Amino acid sequence: MKKILLISVLLSSLMLAENNATDTNSTNKEEKEGLTRVETMQKLEKSMETIQKGFFYNNTEMVKSAVKDFQANLTNMDAFILSVKELENKRNFKPKEYAGKEVKALAKLSDEIISSYERDRKYRATRIYANMMDRCLACHKIIRKW
């Protein structure tokens, strides 16, 4: 039993040490200047998950907090802007304009979630949440070529 415990502690320590070494040796310019697209998207996804959890638990503070987190991550608009190379097959597509439009729309929708939830219009808030999810998926369809 002690051997199993010792082995699990050693493996955990090795994994953490490897993860920290990878993080500190990063030379990616984007990572030094701020969050990468992947990190931003992960934070947005986590906020969306928490909003949904707040709906299920009927927890107004959880919903408000998650919406504020979501909005804070929207400020990293650069994460939404794709390079021309990533969109070779999309002619006349203007990534910066599209990203700006989506960020504004998502910010407005997230504000509507809070106001609806505060006015006890919870079903409306969940429909707005679904609309936000639709906008996310529409963007992912372009980016991931679904």
Euclidean distance between CA atoms 19 and 8, whole angstroms: 17
28 contact partners, CB below 8 Å, separation of at least 6: 36
The per-residue pLDDT for 142 is 77
Fold of 35-144: Four Helix Bundle (Hemerythrin (Met), subunit A) (1.20.120)
Ordered mean pLDDT values, 10 residues apiece, the chain (146 residues): 49 49 42 69 94 96 96 81 59 76 94 95 96 91 73
CB burial of residue 52 (10 Å; 0-12, 13-18, 19+): middle
* Domain residue ranges in the chain: 35-144
Whole-model pTM? Answer: 0.69
